[in-house]
Structure 1
Amino acid sequence: MQAWQGIDEFVSVVEQGSFTKAGQQLQVSTAHVSRSINALEKRLAVKLLHRSTRQVSTTATGQIYYQQCRQLLDGLLDANRTVNQLNTTPSGLIKITAPIYYGERIIAPLFNRLLQQYPDIELDLQLSNHNVELISEGFDLAIRLGSLADSSLMARRIGSRHFDVVASKSYFARCGQPHTIDELNQHNCLRGISDHWHFDVDGRRKDLRIHGSWRCNSGLAVARAAMDGIGIAQLPHYYTDNAVEDGRLMRVLEQHRPHSEGIWAVYPQNRHLSTKLRVVIDFLAAELGEQR
């Protein structure tokens, strides 16, 4: 414990600018502050402070020592907060945004289960396909898909998604199945928001420009058009898995499936993650990590 003696007093004097104010902050006498710092300097065999009747300032060594001590005290404060949060029941409102279809299909059902475990948490889930400004719009958390833009926000990967090329049996019966990605030029490719599909070829990503007579910026609408036999589509797996399982869609070109993309929990930069937010992120990571 001797190694810590005098550190609180030293840091307080540097930040308050006087022994008297440091004593008031720490609720000890000015004499106690002075004795503690004298003992600290003697133990370290260095001079940490310049003292005068008008002001107190750090020596060059004292400034370096202050910066290190400030980090130590911050770390201790973080440790204490973490322990306190572990013993605190998650409660209160948490405001979350997620993409519309993914939010409806995946996130909302998971939150229904979460609230059964933590009934003191209140949830406000706003679904939007636009990246809302978390801080200015008062959101605690965003669920985002794919590549993230650089920002000051914190992000944790909580799951992954992959893309499949699919079409209906009736379409393949009429137009045949593609066995190479180059054969897609002979097919009616259902376009979403992009004119390019992505593939893995010999371990490298290949972007292929596709063409077709049908376009919509809704992934759900693209999936339905594929099920209706209009054409062939490339979509994230959560649009197509159920239809593949019940035979409404068939996968092709699986040997060229592109590498999985991240599903992310994004939140404002804050070292002291609240108990409720930590619980939500950990729950989503556990659940989505078990899904394909």
Structure 2
Amino acid sequence: MSSRWDGIDEFTAVAEQASFSTAAKRLGLSTSAVSREIARLEDRLQTRLLNRTTRRVELTDAGRDFLARCRRLIDERDEALAAVQPDDSAPRGLLRMTCSVSYGERFVAPAVNRFARDHAELSIELDLDNRLRDLVGDGYDLAIRFGHLTDSRLIARRLASRRLILCAAPAYLARRGAPRDLSELPVHDLLTGSSEHWRFSEAGRETSFRPQGRWRCNSGAAVLDAAIQGLGLCQLPDFYVTEPLRAGVLTALLTEHRPPDEGVWAVHPHRRHVPPKVRLMIDHLRASLAA
């Protein structure tokens, strides 16, 4: 006898991933098993939920409405299970996380790997992506984000801080001179990255500046290399430039206008009871990043 829950997790995963194979990987099942459960679910409902083609999967109108209800059901089920688990229960199941590429590679992934080594019953999916993913819509349990947070659907816990530093190579400064204040930035060669604005502090207030230049790349490592080669000014987080500054291959600029440190946050969807896998991972990341 089939359960009324059969197919709901599978349908939700496929709808969120728009792919049977990706959803199957997320659930730890075969693609055929996922397809079979969704077909049975559609038979029970007497309604088509997904339109399948050889290239993509799309929700029907009924499927779109059903997905919203399924997400609420799954959240409430997971909260109910978390509410009765003891505080010291071991993390298990699948934990889906997302973080920006460079910070994730340098700091988050090593910490996550140590956590995975110590908790064999937990599966982890870590997506490193510079896009701001929709945690609720894309089905993530946890994200690492920076700066000001605005999504009221999310709960945030501060893990660490990062500092933004304006700098340039000595060779560039010898050729073009150093800016004496913020008003001189537009006459310089500016190296822009994934951020649309540079942040500063002026007269005790935060201000922003939109850099315009002939060079742009969404990789912080590439921006750093361009700055070291003397192509212009850049503003990067401290973990990129601390060693180049110490070695003298970059020079910090306008330090009196440096903005307040940004928060590094662990954020997760709002739930009354946080699952142990999420709570324990946040505790682990906080200890690791603080160190």
Q: Please give the TM-score of this superposition, normalised by the length of structure 1.
A: 0.65
Partner of 2:98, secondary structure, is strand
Report which stretch shifted further, 149-158 or 164-173: 149-158
Distance in 1 (CA, whole Å) between partners of 2:185 and 2:130 is 28
Distance in 1 (CA, whole Å) between partners of 2:133 and 2:196 is 25
User: Residues 233, 270 of structure 1: CA spacing in aligned structure 2 closer, same or farther, 3 A cutoff?
Assistant: same
User: Residues 269, 255 of structure 1: CA spacing in aligned structure 2 closer, same or farther, 3 A cutoff?
Assistant: same
Q: Which amino acid aligns with 1:107?
A: V
Look up the match of 2:126. Answer: 125
Look up the match of 1:243. Answer: 244
- Identify unmatched segments of 5+ residues in structure 2: 1-78
| Alignment coverage as a number of residue pairs | 212
Distance in 2 (CA, whole Å) between partners of 1:87 and 1:184 is 53
Percent identity, aligned pairs only, is 42
The Cα RMSD (Å) is 2.5
Look up the match of 2:12. Answer: none
User: Residues 210, 270 of structure 1: CA spacing in aligned structure 2 closer, same or farther, 3 A cutoff?
Assistant: closer
Distance in 2 (CA, whole Å) between partners of 1:134 and 1:150 is 10
Given that 1:95 and 1:125 are in contact with CA atoms closer than 8 Å, whether structure 2 keeps it comes out as: yes
Report which stretch shifted further, 219-228 or 185-194: 185-194
User: Residues 287, 168 of structure 1: CA spacing in aligned structure 2 closer, same or farther, 3 A cutoff?
Assistant: same
Give 1:143 shift: 1.3
Given that 1:99 and 1:143 are in contact with CA atoms closer than 8 Å, whether structure 2 keeps it comes out as: yes
Distance in 2 (CA, whole Å) between partners of 1:207 and 1:258 is 9
Look up the match of 1:265. Answer: 266
Q: Which amino acid aligns with 2:130?
A: N
Look up the match of 1:138. Answer: 139
Give 1:102 shift: 1.6
Distance in 2 (CA, whole Å) between partners of 1:286 and 1:193 is 28
Partner of 1:135, secondary structure, is helix
CA shift digits 1:151-210 (9 cap, x unpaired): 312222222222100111221222222332233234212123456422112211122344
Look up the match of 2:233. Answer: 232
- Identify unmatched segments of 5+ residues in structure 1: 1-76
Look up the match of 2:219. Answer: 218
Look up the match of 1:280. Answer: 281
Partner of 2:209, secondary structure, is strand
User: Residues 150, 277 of structure 1: CA spacing in aligned structure 2 closer, same or farther, 3 A cutoff?
Assistant: closer
Q: Which amino acid aligns with 1:157?
A: R
Distance in 2 (CA, whole Å) between partners of 1:189 and 1:130 is 23
CA shift digits 1:230-284 (9 cap, x unpaired): 0011112222223223333221211211012222211122111111211101111
Partner of 1:217, secondary structure, is coil
Give 1:215 shift: 2.2
Q: Which amino acid aligns with 1:236?
A: P
User: Residues 143, 209 of structure 1: CA spacing in aligned structure 2 closer, same or farther, 3 A cutoff?
Assistant: closer
Structure number with greater Rg is 1
Q: Which amino acid aligns with 2:94?
A: L
Partner of 1:229, secondary structure, is coil
User: Residues 81, 169 of structure 1: CA spacing in aligned structure 2 closer, same or farther, 3 A cutoff?
Assistant: same
Give 1:226 shift: 0.5
User: Residues 273, 177 of structure 1: CA spacing in aligned structure 2 closer, same or farther, 3 A cutoff?
Assistant: same
Given that 1:195 and 1:211 are in contact with CA atoms closer than 8 Å, whether structure 2 keeps it comes out as: no
Counterparts of 1:1-292 in structure 2, within 5 Å, are 81=83, 84-193=85-194, 196-290=197-291
Given that 1:85 and 1:274 are in contact with CA atoms closer than 8 Å, whether structure 2 keeps it comes out as: no
Distance in 2 (CA, whole Å) between partners of 1:194 and 1:285 is 25
Distance in 1 (CA, whole Å) between partners of 2:131 and 2:211 is 25
Distance in 2 (CA, whole Å) between partners of 1:256 and 1:131 is 27
User: Residues 195, 93 of structure 1: CA spacing in aligned structure 2 closer, same or farther, 3 A cutoff?
Assistant: closer
